[in-house]
Structure formats: structure tokens, C-alpha cells
Amino acid sequence: MDSAPITVHWHEGNQPVYSADFQNPSDGFARLATGGGDNNVRIWRMDIDDRECDALKTSIHYLSTLRKHTQAVNAVRFDPSGYMLASASDDGLLIVWGLSDEIVQDFGVQDDDMKETWKVRKIFHTHSEIYDIAWSPDSNYIAAGSMDNAVRVFNIKTEKKDLEFLDHGHCVQGVAWDPLNKYFATQSADRSLHIYQLKHHELNSTTRLQVGDIQGCLELNICRSDFSRVTDHHSAISPNSGCLLGMNADASNDSVNSTTSVQSPAPSLKAESRTASHNGSSKRTFYLYHSEALQSFFRRLTFSPDGSLLLTVSGLYRKDNKNDEEDVSDALVNTVYIYTRAGFSQSPVCSLSGFTKPTVAIKFSPIIYELDKECSRSIFDLPHKMLFAVATLDTVIVYTTQRIEPLGISKNLHYSTITDLAWSSDGKSIIVSSADGFCSVIRVDHSLLGTPLAT
């Protein structure tokens, strides 16, 4: 695995790059979109030498600038078909763009380097800053999380707002849509995760979304959990047991040190904290996620491409400490919590830990691979292998769903915090955006990827 910064003029005045996303190729080559603190969206073409894993040989070519926003652009996302691009901004606008057949200059702007034009197709107005967005897999809806604690779902065909929720107690910083189109999930600075179940109703040749119950709850407000200090039932690593998967994300060289500790399964999670006592035991309550003090605007969670897993960021895990005098802050470790599709109403099945700084974004590769035959035992009982990248404030770690050990770690790529991840359609490259105004690229070697699953 190789990584390097891409030193091009990404946005005006070296303003932060808050978001990046690759297009699903629709006309021969894949575009890369970036959203910046200069209020603009920019479109790029990335060329790589596919014969070798050399990040320094990556070249970026400017294609276009989209200028309708009036404040910083926090999220850019191509729709699954690749024909539309959505952008969301601090100005409260959610804009859907489409590629034009002709090049048209913006009024008062002369851009001689522009290679193509993207026109506004839809505009949805909100009254608050939008931090994250997610397309439905059929490209008919967009979910948006905002600073006013709201989650809104917009219908692309009717150009109306179908759903609005005010369940969170703080700004919504992450939105993810289930690839099987049954759920969408949100994360907020109120330390909660909400999972919504969708119901589709056909009305006069149009589809309207409604939210249904998941085992009796309108939404799953997974925010805190109680652990008994005396209960200590250890179990084998499996998707059905709570386990803590450790790794050394602060290694000073290219080697990866990995450790595994297995903890007793976490109890069921409720929207409110619980306190209980048992004979000779005491219960302690701790939050599963960081508070609003986290130094990031984003908590970009994600579903796996097969819909079997939901991975959430900004997690906190309290180590089982026997010493009552130990500082509580020393016992908390940064983590990624993993939920299974069959257990959305239950506690996370396991967590990835060992991160020296909070996790802020996760992205899966769009490619699903055959299982590695040399791996005798997989972490998850899945018929295939998937790759995903986890971004902390300053480091990117790449994992597979089959092994405990990460494939590789890239750190010290940027001078400021990481803001987003984008995985190319071929699964071989990852773009990392940063508040320092630059993006970097991570190239994954063919030997680490495996054999793509036949479709």
C-alpha cells in the first residue's frame, strides 16, 4: 500500500477540502468531485498507472467548477447511477447537478481551463447548515443531516421533502443509506446513532417513503450502555459476541502490530442510560460516542456494499479496569462500532480499537472479493470479503472483513484534520480530503485486494 499527497490547486486560496467522492463511471472515465471552503464544487479526472502501486504517479486534471453555493460545501456525493451529483453547504442548500451537453461559462466568470459544464437540475432549500448527505440506491431520494438537529429526506422526482425528523439533540454530522434500500442511519454530536426503517408506498405511479418500527422503536437511539464490572464471561470472536479488535495505529514504521482482546457481550442498548445493581456488583454508565467537543464537523458512518454491516465512527470503548483509582479518561479508547443487519436493535457485535485519535469517516470499497483461502478463520461469517478504510483526525487505516490485522496504515499525510474519504470504482485507490486544503491518494496493491467476486 502506497500513499502520497497530491499537490494541485484544489480550491481557491487553499481553502479546506471538506468532501470528496468518485463517480460510478457512466461515460468511459470516472470523475472525482470535491467540495471546498471557497463555496465551490470542483470536478476532476484522476489518471493512474494501473501497472504498479505508486501513489506519486497519480495525476489530477481539472474539469470544471460549480459555483452556485454561497458558503462552504460540506458534502459532495454522486448518485449510484453516476449521472447526477449532489452538493450540500453551510448555506442550507442541497443542489443536484447534471452534466451539460455544452460548455457554458458562468456569468461574469471566464474559466479558460474548464472542460465541461454541470447545470443545476434541482435545488432543495433548508434553513440550516447541511453537514452530510446520502443517496438512496435507486437515486430517487437524498437524506441530509443538518446543524439544526434535523434529518430530511428529499424526493428527486417530486422535488419535495418527504420526511423530516427532529429526534437528535444536537447537529447531525453523518448520514448513510442502506444499499438494500430498507434503512438509513444517522450520527449526531448528541452521541447517538439513529437507524430508521423505510416503508415504500406506491401512490399514483410515485413512491412515498414512510418510517416504520424496528422492533417497537420508531428509531434506535443507541447512545450509551451499562457494563457490570464483575461480570466477565469471555467468548470466542464471532459476529454474535461482543469483541474488541485491537491494532497499533501509531506504529512508527510500515509494520503493523495487532492484538485482540475479547470482552463479554454488551447488553441491549436503550435510548436512555440505565443503572442497575446486582449482588456484589456495581454498574457504571459510559457513552458509546464522543460528545460535541470532538474537533470535527463530520461523523461519516457507512453501510457495507452488501448491506450486512453498519460501521459507525467517533466511538468510545471503556476498558475493563480492575483499579478503581485509575482515571476514567485513561480507560476510554477510540473505536469503531460494528453492527450487523440482523442486530440493528441490539448492541454492536464488535469494535475496532487502538486509534490514537477519534475516528471521523469510514468508506467501503465498492468491490466485493472472494474469500482469501489462506485465511483459516474469518472475523465475520460472510461468503465474501470486503475492504474498508477508517479515517481518524490524522490517519487512514485499511481493513478487510476477513482479518483482524489491517492491510496498511497511512499517516502524516496532512497538516490539518482529515474530512472525508472516497474510494475509486475499481477499488484500487482512496482519496483523502483534508482541512489543510489538499487531498492525498492511497494506492492499494493488487496482492492485497484479492479476486473480485463474479457478478
pLDDT in tens, 35-62: 999 999 999 999 877 666 677 778 899 9
- The percentage of the chain sitting over the pLDDT mark of 90, rounded to a whole number, equals 59
- DSSP one-letter string for 294-343: SS-S--B-EE-TTSSEEEEEEEEEE---S-TTS-HHHHEEEEEEEEEGGG
What sign has the CA pseudo-torsion 123, 127, 40, 429?
negative
Q: What average pLDDT does range 142-167 have in this prediction? A: 95
The residue with greater pLDDT, 155 or 107, is: 155
DSSP 8: S
Contacts 24+ apart (CB under 8 A), 236-243: 236/262, 237/262, 237/350, 237/379, 237/404, 238/381, 239/340, 239/349, 239/350, 239/379, 239/380, 239/381, 240/349, 241/265, 241/349, 241/350, 242/266, 242/347, 242/348, 242/349, 242/350, 243/349, 243/350, 243/351
pLDDT above 80 (res 140): yes
pLDDT at 216: 32
Q: Give the pLDDT band of residue 374 (cuts 50, 70, 90).
A: confident
pLDDT of residue 325: 55
Report helix, strand or coil for 16: coil
pLDDT classification of 234: cutoffs 50, 70, 90: very low
pLDDT category at 250 given cuts 50, 70, 90 is very low
CA-CA distance, 178 to 197, in Å (whole number)? Answer: 10
Lowest pLDDT segment from 87-96, 131-140, 241-250: 241-250
Q: How far apart are CA 253 and CA 260, in angstroms?
A: 20
Q: What confidence category does residue 270 fall into, taking pLDDT thresholds of 50, 70 and 90?
A: very low
Q: Once rounded to an integer, what is the mean pLDDT over residues 55-76?
A: 92
Residues 168 and 299: their CA atoms lie apart, in Å, by: 14
Of 67-81, 177-191, 233-247, the poorest mean pLDDT is in 233-247
Q: How confident is the model at residue 105 (pLDDT cuts 50, 70, 90)?
A: confident
Measured at the CA of 322, the angle between CA 263 and CA 262, to 5 degrees, comes to 10
Q: What is the mean pLDDT of residues 80-104?
A: 94
What are the Cα distances from residue 84, in Å, to 23, 100, 122, 128, 302? Answer: 9, 11, 10, 23, 20
Q: Output the average pLDDT for the chain.
A: 81
Give the other-Cβ count within 10 Å of 267's Cβ: 17
Spell out the domains of the chain, with CATH numbers in brackets: 1-223+283-447 (2.130.10.10)
Instruction: Report whether pLDDT(283) > 60.
Output: no
State the pLDDT at residue 361. Answer: 98
Residue 287, pLDDT above cutoff 70: yes
Residue 344 pLDDT level (bands cut at 50, 70, 90): confident
Which of 10-19, 64-73, 109-118 has the lowest average pLDDT? 109-118
| Residue 395: band (very low, low, confident or very high) from pLDDT cuts 50, 70, 90 | very high
Residue 274 in this model has a pLDDT that exceeds 80: no
Cβ neighbours of residue 114 under 8 Å, at least 6 residues apart? 63, 64, 65, 103, 105
For residue 433, give the nearest of 187, 91, 77, 189 by alpha carbon: 77
pLDDT at res. 276? 35
Decide: 402 and 375 in contact? Cβ < 8 Å. Answer: yes
Place of cell 486509534: 355
48 neighbors 58 (Cβ within 8 angstroms): yes
- Whether the per-residue pLDDT at 215 is higher than 50: the answer is no
Sheet holding 59-66, edge to edge: 17-22, 31-36, 41-47, 59-66
Confidence of residue 277 (pLDDT cuts 50, 70, 90): very low
In 10 A of CB 420, how many CB atoms?
A: 26
The H-or-E segment that residue 64 falls in is strand 59-66
Interatomic CA distance for residues 116 and 420, integer angstroms: 25
Least confident of 48-62, 244-258, 379-393: 244-258
Q: Which residue has the cell 477499488?
A: 427
User: Look-up: residue for cell 441490539?
Assistant: 346
Q: What is the pTM of this model?
A: 0.84
Span 267-295, average pLDDT: 58
DSSP 129: -
Q: What is the mean pLDDT of residues 94-99?
A: 97
Please choose, from the candidates 216, 174, 215, the residue with its C-alpha nearest in 3D space to the C-alpha of residue 194.
174
Q: Residue 313, Cα to own-chain centre: how many angstroms?
A: 8
Q: What is the model's pLDDT at position 208?
A: 57
pLDDT of 106: 74
Position 134 confidence tier, pLDDT thresholds 50, 70, 90: very high
Least confident of 39-53, 69-83, 402-416: 39-53
What residues contact residue 452 under an 8 Å CB cut-off, 6+ apart?
367, 368, 369, 370, 427
What band does 243 get if pLDDT is binned at 50, 70 and 90? Answer: low
pLDDT at 251: 35
pLDDT reported for residue 199: 81
Best CA proximity match to 30, nearest among 4, 50, 10 = 50
Grid cell, residue 141, equals 431520494
d(CA 16, CA 162): 32
pLDDT of residue 385: 95
In the predicted model, what is the mean pLDDT of residues 422-433?
94
Q: Between 102 and 329, whose confidence is greater?
A: 102
CB 85 within 8 A of CB 30: no
| Structure confidence at residue 247 (pLDDT) | 43
pLDDT of res. 326: 54
